[in-house]
Amino acid sequence: MSNADQPDPAVKAPSARVAEHLASLPEDVKQRVNSLQEIQKEHDEIEAKFKKEREELITKYQNLYAPLYEKRASIVNASSAEETKPDEAASNGVPEFWLGALKANEIVAVQITERDQGALKYLKDIKSYYVSSPKGFKLEFYFDENPYFTNSVLTKEYHMEEDDDEPILERAVGTKIDWKPGKDLTVKLMKKKPKKGAKDTTPQTKLQACETFFNFFNPPEIPENEEEIDPEEAEELQDLMEQDYDVGATIRDKIVPHAVSWFTGEAVESDDEAGDDEDDEDEEDEDEDDEVTDDEEEFDAKEEAKQTVPKRTR
């Protein structure tokens, strides 16, 4: 261990600081603090039980929802016997169901380009799972055979850690997409005209990264040595990670549980109404801020007059 890695002897360990602080207290106060610590210990035991039961509840209801989601998938993809009548040809289910649901949500919709829609028409199901180890959640996107990529399932995992009981995103991991030749939606072919007088008049081409929903499966990565990132880059990375998490959490919490409501537009209206209520509250707050009393106006006028009086020079 180098000298730089050696602990500073002047810096006390947390346990030593706590012991020193308790020792400095009067005896009667120290006894009361000991009683408070016993209460805290009981609280922590109950809290640990709450967290354990919460995880069990999440798993329980995840299992209860699963058969409903399977039934939904069978109807959407016309694989249910109920959907095919003996005297009729097999139904095509609900075409572009998941594309329609995703496009209806404004947080997800901004990620979807026109080019993406061709591939997302082959999306036949989205599943969401709570994961206990490592803590987090997983999204699975199931695709029919399509002309864009060979994967039948694309996955996205969010690994979380708790900081003061608040879930914090540690990292996100996505599937490597196996694109078919000439079908990679994450890049565009750019052509550059040759310079005037150049012997080779063949247009130069190069692939350039572009915006696409499928970048969702290639999330931003945190460098191993975070100290090497300058503040501006760190802020940009933070914004990208937050945006990525927002999309994932929206698909988990809104799209998967209420897909048909997004497809029909009912969920959009509910979201709009909730947004209108928030806007009304904001406007009321602004109106209150705008209300100025006569005394305040007089005070502001005096302050303004003071600022406009020129300073005396000697």
The residue with tokens 């029909």 is 264
Mean pLDDT rounded to a whole number for the chain:
82
Per-residue b or e along 225-243, where b marks 16 or more CB atoms closer than 10 Å to that residue's CB: eeeeeeeeeeeebeeebee
Please report the pLDDT score of residue 225 as a whole number: 72
- Stated as kind and residue range, the H or E segment containing 299 is helix 294-308
For the record, the structure tokens of 44 come out as: 């922590």
Rounded distance between C-alpha atoms, residue 34 and residue 18, angstroms: 12
Report which DSSP code applies to 5: G
Say what the pLDDT of residue 232 is. 84
Mean pLDDT of 123-134: 92
Measuring CA to CA, which residue among 219, 276, 211, 210 is closest to residue 247? 219
Query: What is the per-residue burial (b if ≥16 Cβ within 10 Å, else e) of 91-121?
Result: eebbeebbbbbbbbbebbeebbeeebeebbb
Q: What is the pLDDT of residue 311?
A: 36
Q: Does 158 have pLDDT greater than 50?
A: yes
Of 106-110, 167-171, 254-258, 294-298, least confident by mean pLDDT is 294-298
pLDDT at 302: 44
Q: What ranges make up the beta strands (E) of the chain?
A: 123-132, 135-143, 153-163, 166-174, 187-192, 204-209
Q: Where are the domains of the chain?
A: 94-221+230-281
Residue 303 has pLDDT above 50, yes or no: no
Which is nearest to 214 in space by CA: 100, 106, 118, 104?
118
Residue 255 has what pLDDT? 98
- pLDDT tens for residues 31-42? 999 999 999 999
Residues of the chain with pLDDT > 70, as a percent, come to: 74
**Global model pTM greater than 0.95:** no
| Listed range (148-162, 207-221, 297-311) with the worst mean pLDDT | 297-311
Higher-confidence residue of 280 and 22: namely 22
Q: What mean pLDDT do residues 87-115 have? A: 88
User: 94-221+230-281 adopts what CATH topology?
Assistant: Arylsulfatase, C-terminal domain (3.30.1120)
Confidence tier at 231 by pLDDT (50, 70, 90): confident
Band the pLDDT of 289: cuts 50, 70, 90: low
- Does the pLDDT of residue 241 top 80, yes or no? yes
Contact assessment for residue 187 and residue 210, using Cβ atoms and an 8 Å cutoff: yes
> Using one digit for the tens of pLDDT, what is the confidence trace for 93-102?
999 999 999 9
Q: What is the pLDDT of residue 16?
A: 82
Q: What would you measure as the largest C-alpha separation in the chain, in angstroms?
A: 105
Let me know: does 193 contact 205? Beta carbons within 8 Å. Answer: no
Residue 301 has what pLDDT?
44
